Every structure is written in structure tokens, then in C-alpha cells.
Chains A and B, each alone.
Chain A
Amino acid sequence: MGRPGFMLDVDERTPPLLMHEGEGFRLERLPLGSRVIYPPESLPGIVDLEGAIHHALLHPHGSDPLPQLLRRGMRLTIVFDDLSLPLPQMRTPDVRQRVIEQVLELAAAAGVDDVELIAANSLHRRMTPAELKRTVGERVFRAFHPDHLRNHDAEDPDDLAHLGTTPHGEDVEINRRAAESDLIVYVNITLTAMNGGSKSVAVGLASYASLRHHHNVHTLRHSRSFNDPPHSAMHQSYDRMADVIGGQVPVFTIETTLNNEPFPTALRFLTRREWEWNLTDQASYLAVKRSNDLATGKLRRRIWQATEAPYGVTGVHAGAPSQVHPHTLAAVHRQQLTEVQGQADVAIFGLPYICPYNVNSIMNPILVMSLGLGYFFNLYRGKPIVREGGVAIFYHPMPHEFHPVHHPSYIDFYDLLAETTDPVMLETKYEKQFATDPWYTHLYRTSYAYHGVHPFYMWYWGAHAMQHLADVIFVGGDRSTTARLGFRAASSLADALELARDTVGANPEISYLHAPPMVLADVR
């Protein structure tokens, strides 16, 4: 059993602490008295995973066992989370493959012929055939690709079905094949508390017309946090949409949760507490850091992107989405929740090399902002770890780099930031133009590009943090890129604290969120 997460008070005994900074990391000495939020240690994974999946399918929550839902002549659609989950990509066989194979075994036994597999990529880029194969496994890929194993296309008018509106007037439009199926089986990986539940079908298979109701500045500013579904306006919108979907097509969901093992053995030091590093950990740190620093940017990125997480699966729950998700959330909390007393004046975050939108790609400045002010800032329950009017310090070099195939609209969006960084202004003035631009739509549908509106969503992702914080500083950040985004750059932590001095004084309270591995701060 792993040890729980805890708050470390930095004292004179505390060695320099590990800090991620994009495709690199460093040791940093934090000021005495700083507090560090450590995640719980990794829980053991399920040993008999096949058995656990089988048990979940036969003993679901709030639903008949899956074999009873399958019958000859039915239309079965199996939908699965796309490559944005988990992070990093997990070592094969992916848990989605294991679940899908068991679902297909049952479907074959029931005589189901009409089976379609769809990646729930929403407005994300399409998964390449290699990525699909990696996710669902060789056997499934060979049997179904390309005709019956495909990506969701949110811009195909023939493959979208409008199911109605919620009591709040929100359009619910999802994939037609799924909407007209006799059963949707959704295979999920819940990495953080924001994943899974109503979000799976209502977002993963949705169109822009549907997504715009919750992926907007107003909703995100009232999602505090979006990792705390009961207090997330975004999740309340998902729930309303899921009710509309559930009223028209039955959904059987299988949710899985992972432990805190995001790095392979050679990088074990990244997940260990620094004062417990043995000689092997220290030698690994030195060897990996030196090699990483000496490698060319291209090689470095290739190596990091090739990293496979040896995640263990901590839970498999199946059944009706509303019945399953509480069990899933409990498992996520068991692995990630750390109690934190009070808010700090300054929060420090070390941003890693990966976010949901740069798998096998480049983390451009917009994604860095989304990872920092969106995902990391929102890793809380209750209150943010930094007080309103406080300062956030992020570690990331934030280079001016974009993937021209994956993120074409991001390049143009970056230019917009010279005019304004105000999320409301950007939303009002430019969102629709980008969302309906035929060239972006063409690239989204036929190439491997994120949807034209996607960079806006990334910007909204940080809207709550931008409103909450008085200042945002990037240590090691490229000065012109950081300035374009409306933030400030500092060359060291000491400089960053000096910059923050005007806002929070000379002796601020500092909290450092020591992630990854994932931690959800339960701020009291």
C-alpha cells in the first residue's frame, strides 16, 4: 500500500526538489518555509486485470450484465477515449484494448454482426492508423480497420444527429452512428477527476454546435474546479446533455482508473521523494539530465514522446454512466487526493513535456498556457492552492514552436494574441470565424489537424486562473513568447519571486505542487 500524499514544509534538511520544465527537469532549492504538495504514492495495480474486467462486465452498476444487453441483429457501437488519454501513453497492451477485446468476445458469442468502433476524439485531431492500432491492439485493428474502426468526425453533416436540447437550451448533437445504435459501449480511462462520467459520450462524440455550450469562458470561469465535478458548471452541462442522450440511446460504460506510475523504471527518480533518492536514483538523475540537456531538440522530443507509462489499473467499473462514475471518482481520489491546509500567496508548478493535445506532437505556447493555467491550476478541490490576487510561477521554456500539421489554427491564434489576450474578447470577436473556417475544417477532416476552434478552448481553459491570479511568471520562459501571451518571464526562481514582490510582498507563503505524478489538492 502506498503512502498517502502530504504537505512538506521545506526546512534546512530538505534537499533541492525536482521540477519539471517541458522536455527537461531540474533540481531547485525552494525558500525555507515553502510548502510542497506531494501526491500519494502509487497504489498497486490489479494483478488479474482480465478477471477484473470480466467481473465488471458481468456485475455492472445500475445495469443488466453486458451479455444480456447483446443480441443478434443489433447495432453495437463501441466508443473509446482517444490518444489524449492517458498521459504519457501507457505501455501496451493498453487497458482499452483489453476491455474492447472482452466486449467483442461477448458480442461475438451473442451473434452481433453490426459492430462499429469509434475513437471519441471530438474536435481533437484524428488518430493515425498506427495510433489506433496501438490503442485497440493488433487483433481488433485487423478485424475492423478501416471500415469499422474509425475516428469521430465532428464536421461530417451526414454523420451527426441532433438529439434535441437540454432544459437550458443546449444543443445535443453527437455522432449519428452512435446515436442510432441499439447500444453504445463506452470504454474510458479516467486519469483525472474531470474525465469520464457524462463527459465521455456528450463531449467525445459531439460537434462544435454542442460543445460551444460548455466550452466557453463563462462556463469555465464557473467551474471551480473542473476537477471537482459537483462544483463544475462544465460538468453540470455535461450531465444535462447526458440525460438527453441517455433518453434516446442506451449507454453501457466501462471506466478504468490508473495508479501513479507515469514513468518507466529508468526514470523512477521522477516519482520518488527526493530525500529518499538512493545512489541509483541520483546516478539516473545525473545521467538522464546530462544526456537530455546535450541532446538536440528533435531527439529529445522523440525520446520523451516514446516514453511509455507502466501504469497499473486500480479499478474497473461498468454499467450505467451515472452509477459507475462515483466509484471511478472514489478510485481517482484514493490515488490522487492530498489534503492541503490553506492557500498560499504564490503557487509554483513545474510543467512537464506532455499535455492531452501534444501526444506525438509539439507543445506550443498556447498548450503550455492551457497546461499551466488550465490543467495544473485546476488540480484542486475546494479552493485553488493560491489565493485570489496571488501569483503563479510556472517552469517551462515556452519555445516559439508549433506543429504545422497538428496545430495549424494555433499558429494564427497566436497572432491574435498580439491584439488581445482577453478570453471574452477573443471569444466574442474571433471564435466563430475560426470554428467555421473551411480550410481548418478541411484539415481537421482530412489531415491530422486539431479543429479550428481548439486553440480558443485552450485559452478558455485558463480563463478562471487568469481571473484569479494577479500575476503569472514563467521561469526559463522565452521572453517574447511569454510576453505575447500576457505573462512575464524570469531567469530563475529568485528573479521570479523578486518580480512577484510587488504583488505579494517580500515574504510570501509559497506552495509547490509536486506533479507529475498526478495530485489533486484538497484545499481546506
Chain B
Amino acid sequence: MSGLRDDLRLLRHGRDWRGRSRVPRSAQCWEPPDNGDDFPTAWARTAAAGALRSALQQAMLKPVIWSQTRPVVRGREYLDSVRGPAVFVANHSSHLDTPLILGALPPRITKKLAVGAAADYFFDSRTVAAATTLLFNAFPVERRARRGRSLAAELVDGGWSLLLYPEGSRTVDGWLTGFKLGAAQLCSMKGIPAVPIALRGTFAAMPRGRRWPQPGRPRVSVRIGRPLRIEADETVPEFRIRLVRAVATLWAEDDLGWYGALRAAADDSLALPTGSRSALPSTASGQPLPQDNEVAPWRRVWEATRPAADDGPRQVWTD
């Protein structure tokens, strides 16, 4: 048995829970082309698969996540106005994010919600791809943008809402990083609203490398914002900035309270929780972003993993 254990230990070394290793830097230029979007996902959007998925999410996924964490969900009331397809845009720092959002959204939305998942991560193994597709109604998203073809537009045409993580990957330090243009572009192209969602505490609860939430039911928050639509005179990059600021405002609610965050956003004094890469290419007024957020990586991780304050009454006014 020790031989088996040793073999397993070596085999697992440097690989994540799916057995996937990171690509050595000197081998990155020799990576084969990804074939993630070749994996068929249409079967997961059939009525039978949808029924099975609802059952799995409600009977298994949500109870497990809710038993291992203490989710606080705010802003569900803003979704009443959402009828038809929308793009849900969230920050991303943990594998907990998707189950939390699916558990936080009302069933009438999750029934018609597809989740964008990294083609090179979730769709390189057929087993993992099948499980991800069934459980989350996932569809492959090409992160490296080598190819333009994407299912997203087709899904919106088919009446599906999408959950996208415009950062492209889980952050390494729990903070917000740059948003890619894709989500804003899609909203502009299809004339559909974007719903900002901010997640706090998921990095502390289950960061990269962990396979199960930290013990002790860590507190996590899911804050849903008002749906945003691109204005007639607004460009896609400007809309992207508005999306970042909306997510950042929701993010700040945990620290400043609802009104405090709104005031800070209105005064353009909101300290953007930017991490390893700046979330905003420039401020809303077009000025370059101040570089006062360049702190040592450990300080960002330190802040991101600070235990959340206990729940109290919802703060409307702050000192």
C-alpha cells in the first residue's frame, strides 16, 4: 500500500483536484490548441437535463454549500424587473462563486441560466466537461481569445441568460482584476441588461488550491445590483467601466454600508478593490487610474482573508 500511496503522491504533485497540472512557463508556447468548444453542450439545455439539474442544485448543491458557509444574499428584489435574457456579471475568486450565485438567484432565472466556463480548464477532460455541463449548464468560453466563435450570442438568441466572469479567471489575491470586454460587448450587441453581482468572503472561504470550504462555516456575501443597460451614447468600453464600478460599489457595501458605498461611488472616491491587475483602465472621466493601490501582494491577500464581521442589522446609514 505504501507503494501505491507514494505513486499517488507523486502523481498528484502539482496537480489540482481534476488532475490538471499547470503548464511550465517554457512550454507555454508549445501548448496544443484548445478543443473545449468542441464539447457538445446542447444536451444540457434540454427539458430533461434541466429538470435533473434543478433537482441536483436544489437537493444537493445548495444544501451542501449552505451547510458549509453562511451566505448573506442581498438585492434579490432588483431582479423583479428582469424578464428575458440578461447577463449576470460577477467578480470571481473561488469555485464557490457559481454555486453561491445559483443558490442566491430565484429559480425562474436559474432555470434559464447558462454559465460561462473556461474552455481550457473545464472542457479539456470529457468527464469533467460532462459533469460541469450537467450541474451548472456550463458552456465553454475561450479565455485566450484565439478564436472568435462563442456560444454566448446563440444562447442569448435562444432566450438564455448568462452568468459570466469578465475577469476571465479566479483572482490570485481575492481582489478585483481587469474586466474583459466580452460581457459588455454582448449586452451592447443584443440590447440586454447586465446585472452586477459582488461576492465577498469566497476567497477567504475557498481560494485557489482548496477543494472544500474552510471549516467553521465562513461568512460569504452575495450582493446583487440593479440591472444596467448600455446608454444610447455610451461606448462598450465605457459600459465596461460602469460595470466594474457597479460591482465595486456592491463590493464596498460590506465595508461602507449601502449608502456609504453609493456616496463614495457618486463622489468618484470609491477605492477600487484592485488586485494584481488594475480593474479599470482609466476612471470614468477618462483620467488614468491613481496608482495608490500598488501594495505588496501579501497585503492584498491579508485583507481579502480578513474574517468578515458578524451579521448585524442591515446598515443603511453609516457613521
Measured CB to CB, the residues of A under 8 A from B are 3-4, 6-11, 13-16, 26-27, 29, 273-279, 282, 285-286, 289-290, 293
B18 within 8 A of partner (CB): yes
A11:B26 contact, CB within 8 angstroms: yes
B127:A279 contact, CB within 8 angstroms: yes
B317 within 8 A of partner (CB): no
Q: Which residues of A contact B127 (CB under 8 A)?
A: 279
A6:B13 contact, CB within 8 angstroms: no
A13:B24 contact, CB within 8 angstroms: yes
Contacts A11-B26, A282-B15, A289-B7 aside, 15 further interface pairs with beta carbons under 8 A come to A3-B32, A14-B14, A16-B13, A27-B10, A27-B11, A274-B21, A275-B23, A275-B24, A277-B19, A278-B20, A278-B125, A279-B18, A285-B11, A286-B11, A290-B4
- B15 touches which of A3, A15, A289 (Cβ 8 Å): A15
A293 to B2, CA, bound (A): 12
Measured CB to CB, the residues of B under 8 A from A are 3-4, 7-8, 10-11, 13-15, 18-27, 30, 32, 124-125, 127-128
B21:A277 contact, CB within 8 angstroms: yes
Q: Which residues of B contact A274 (CB under 8 A)?
A: 21
Q: Known contacts A15-B13, A16-B13, A29-B13; decide if A276 and B32 are in contact (CB<8 Å).
A: yes
A26 to B125, CA, bound (A): 24
B11:A7 contact, CB within 8 angstroms: no
Q: Which residues of B contact A278 (CB under 8 A)?
A: 19-20, 124-125
Interface core residue of B8, B23, B26 (most chain A CB under 10 Å) = B26
A15 CB → nearest B CB, Å: 4
- B24 touches which of A3, A10, A16, A29 (Cβ 8 Å): A10
Q: Known contacts A15-B13, A276-B32, A278-B124; decide if A8 and B7 are in contact (CB<8 Å).
A: no
Q: Which residues of A contact B10 (CB under 8 A)?
A: 16, 26-27, 29
Supply 30 A–B pairs (Cβ within 8 Å), ascending by A: A4-B30, A6-B26, A6-B30, A8-B26, A8-B27, A9-B24, A9-B26, A11-B24, A11-B25, A13-B22, A13-B24, A14-B14, A15-B15, A15-B21, A27-B7, A27-B13, A29-B13, A274-B21, A275-B22, A275-B24, A275-B27, A276-B21, A276-B32, A277-B19, A278-B125, A279-B127, A282-B15, A286-B4, A290-B3, A290-B4
Instruction: Give B25's nearest chain A residue, CB to CB.
Output: A11
Interface core residue of A276, A277, A290 (most chain B CB under 10 Å) = A276
Give the top 5 A-B pairs by smallest Cβ distance, nearest first. A275-B21, A13-B22, A9-B26, A15-B21, A27-B10
B9 CB → nearest A CB, Å: 10
Interface core residue of A4, A16, A277, A293 (most chain B CB under 10 Å) = A16
Instruction: Give A282's nearest chain B residue, CB to CB.
Output: B19
Q: Which residues of B contact A4 (CB under 8 A)?
A: 30
